[in-house]
Structure 1
Amino acid sequence: MKHSLLLLLLLALCRLALGQAAVPYGHNPAAGKFATLRGVKLYYETYGSGPPLLLLHGNGGSSQDFKQTIPYFARRYRVVALDSRAHGQSVDAGDSLSFEMLADDCAALLSHLRLDSAYVLGWSDGGITALLLAQRHPGRVKRLAATGANLWPDSTALAPALWQQMRRGYREGRTQTFTDARRRNDWKVFLLDWRHPHIPLSALARVKAPAFIIAGDRDVIRAEHTVAIYQNLPRAWLWIVPNSGHATLQEHAEEFNRQVDAFFRAKSVPAPAR
C-alpha cells in the first residue's frame, strides 16, 4: 500500500514537472503583450536577456512555430517572438497585406521596445520580411538569418508542385465571397504569397547587414533561387541543409540553432564568391 502511494506521488510530481516545462509559446500570458502600432494590434512574447533577437514566422503561422528555437536562444539573447499582422493573435482589419507592411511593423515594434537594432531570424515569409527590414531600415538589423525565403512568386523561385497548388488555390478562391471574418483573413494571408514579394536581385545590394541564407535540400524554394539570393548579398553565408524540407529550424532544430548562433557571434562574415 505504501509503495503504491509512493508511486502515485512520484507520478503526480512528474506530471507537474512536465506541465511546468511545457511553455505555451504563442499563447503565454506570462511573456505575451500587445502593442497597437501602425493601425494594427500586434502580439509578441519576450524571453531571456542579452542582445535582442527578433523571430519572424512564416505564412499562416505564429510565434508558436519557434517552440524549438526560443529555449536555446533565450539563454543568451533577449528573444522577441512576433505574431505578424493578420497572424496568430495579432489583429489586422485591413483588406491588404504586403511584406513591406510586415517589415515596417517590425521597425515600429523595435522602436516601441526602445531597441535601436536587433539580430533577426526569419522562416519562410519571415525570411522575406527579414530581408526587407534590412533593406528598408538598414540601421535596425545587426545580422539576419533567413531560411526558406523567396524574392518573387512564380515557378522560377518556388518548386513546381507548390506553385501548381497555389494556382489551384487562387482559381478556387477568387470567385468566392467570404462572409466569415476568419476566412477573409485566411484569404488575405494566402494572397500575400500569391501576389508577393517582388524584390529584384539588384535590391539586395542595399542589405548591408551580414546575412545567413538557409534552405533545405528538399525545400519548396528552388535551390538555384536560394543561391542567387546569397550571391547578390554584399556579406553572406550560405547553408543548404542536408536531408531537410522547408522546416529546417524544426527538422534539424539542434544543429540549426547552433549554426545560426555561431553566425550571429562570428567575428566576420566574408563576401560571397561571385
Structure 2
Amino acid sequence: MKKMLLSLLLLFTIGAQAQTPKIKYGDNPEAGHYATVNGIKMYYETYGEGKPLLLLHGNGGSIKGHTGRIEHFKSKYKVIAVDSRAHGKTQDPGDTLTYEKMTADINALLDYLKIDSCYVWGQSDGGIIGLELAIDYPKKVKRLAVFGANVQPDSTAVFPELLRWVDKTLATAKNDNERRLLLLLKNHPHIEYAALAKIKVPVLVMSGDRDAIKLEHSIKIFQNIPKANLFIMPGATHFGSYEKTDLFFKVLDDFFTAPFSTKATTDILK
C-alpha cells in the first residue's frame, strides 16, 4: 500500500520506465507544441493519423507516463497527449487548482485543434477530467474510458489509508505546486451521481480489484452512467493499466472499436 501511495506523486513513470523507445515522449520537439488556453500555455504532443484519441494522465503525472500507450495507439489513431494545468510542461500561475479548470482547459485545447469530438482515455485524475468533459462539454466526447476515477474525495470513495497519507504528505510538501496537487486529491472532486446520468456517450469504467478507489465506488459510477460497461482488472492496483498492459490494451481496443452493448442477461431471456 505504501509503495502504491507514493507512486501517486512520482509522475506515473511506471509505464515510461517499462520501455526504452527511441522517441522521448513528453519532451519531443518534433511532436510538441504549446497552445494558449484560458490564460496558460498548455503543452501537448500529437502522433499518428486517423480518429483523434485524447490521453489524460493522473495527479502528478505528465505525457511521459503515456509512453506505452502512445506507442500502442499511434498507428491506429491521431493521439493527442497533454500535460494538464500545473503538470509537466504546463504551468499554472494561479493559487488554486480544480478539475473544472482543468476540464475547461481541455475543451479549449480541442477547440484550438479544431477537434469536434474524440475518443478519451483517462487515468485516475485524468479519468475525473474525462467524466467532467463528458458532462460539461458532451459534444467533445465520442467514447470515454477511465481507470481508477472517483467522483467524491472522501472515504465513501477512497480508502482511509490514502486519505491519511495525503494529510501526512501535505504537512511536509516540498513546494507550492506539490501542495496544490495534494489539496486537489484531498478536497476534490465533487461530481453528483445525478450528473453522471447526463453522460450519453459510451463509457468504460475500469478499476483494479485492489485499486486505491473502493470497488463499490467504481460500481456506483458505472451504475449511474446510462451507457456504461464495467471492467475490473484482476490482481491489479490503481496502476493496473501499467501492470497488465496486454490485458489493458485488449480491453481498451475492443471498447473503442466494437459495437457498444448494454444488453443484460434478462434481455436475452425475454
The TM tier, using the shorter chain, reads 0.7 to 0.9
Match status 1:116 vs 2:108: no
Q: 1:269 to 1:101 in 2, by over 3 A?
A: farther
Q: Answer yes or no: is 1:192 the counterpart of 2:184.
A: yes
After TM superposition, give the deviation of residue 269 of structure 1 in Å. Answer: 3.0
SS state at 1:220 partner: coil
Q: Any conservation in 1 of the 2:163–2:186 contact (CA below 8 Å)?
A: no
Matching of residue 155 in structure 1 with residue 155 in structure 2: yes
C-alpha spacing 1:212/1:20, structure 2 compared with 1 (3 Å):
closer
* Counterpart check, 1:244 vs 2:255: no
CA distance in 1, matches of 2:178, 2:39: 19
- Residue 205 of structure 1: how far off its partner (Å): 0.5
Equivalent residue number for residue 40 of structure 2: 40
Matches within 5 A, 1:13-162: 21-162=21-162
Does the Cα contact within 8 Å between 1:236 and 1:272 map onto a contact in 2?
Answer: no
Question: Residue 20 of structure 1: CA displacement?
Answer: 9.3
CA distance in 2: counterparts of 1:227 and 1:106, whole angstroms: 26
- Secondary structure of the residue aligned to 1:121 is strand
Secondary structure of the residue aligned to 1:67 is helix
| Seq. identity, % | 45
Q: Which runs of 5+ in 2 are unaligned?
A: 1-18
Which residue number corresponds to residue 8 of structure 1? none
Q: Report the secondary structure of 1:169's partner residue.
A: helix
CA-CA distance at 1:209 after TM superposition: 1.2
User: 2:102 is aligned with what amino acid?
Assistant: L
Query: Please, which runs of 5 or more residues in structure 1 have no aligned partner?
Result: 1-18
Residue 167 of structure 1 pairs with residue 167 of structure 2:
yes
Question: What's the counterpart of residue 12 of structure 1?
Answer: none
**Pick aligned residue for 2:209 from 208, 211, 217:** 217
Query: CA contact under 8 A between 1:83 and 1:90: conserved in structure 2?
Result: yes
CA distance in 2, matches of 1:66, 1:20: 13
TM-aligned CA deviation for residue 250 of structure 1: 0.7
Does 1:233 pair with 2:219?
Answer: no
CA deviations on 1:166-220 (whole Å, 9 max, x unpaired) are 12234x25xx8x8xxxx11111111111110001111101111110000101110
Question: How big is the shift at 1:101?
Answer: 0.8
Q: Secondary structure at the match of 1:100?
A: helix
Q: Distance in 2 between matches of 1:98 and 1:21?
A: 33
- State the match for 1:208 in structure 2: 200
Return closer, same or farther for 1:77/1:91 CA change in 2, 3 Å cut-off: same
Question: Matches of 1:81 and 1:272 in 2, distance apart?
Answer: 35
Cα distance 1:67–1:32, how it changes in 2: closer, same or farther (>3 A)? Answer: same
Per-residue CA distance 1:28-53 (angstroms, 9 max, x = gap): 11111111110011000111111000
Q: Distance in 2 between matches of 1:273 and 1:217?
A: 23
Which amino acid in the other structure matches residue 220 of structure 2? Answer: A
Alpha-carbon distance change, 98 to 272 in structure 1, aligned in 2, over 3 angstroms: farther
Query: How much does 1:257 deviate?
Result: 1.5
For residues 93-118 of structure 1, give each alpha carbon's deviation from its aligned partner in whole angstroms, at most 9, with x where no partner exists: 11111111111111111111011011
Task: Decide whether the 8 Å contact of 1:148 with 1:215 is kept in 2.
Answer: yes
Normalising by structure 1, we get a TM-score of 0.87
Match of 1:132, SS? helix
Q: Which runs of 4+ in 1 moved over 3 A?
A: 271-274
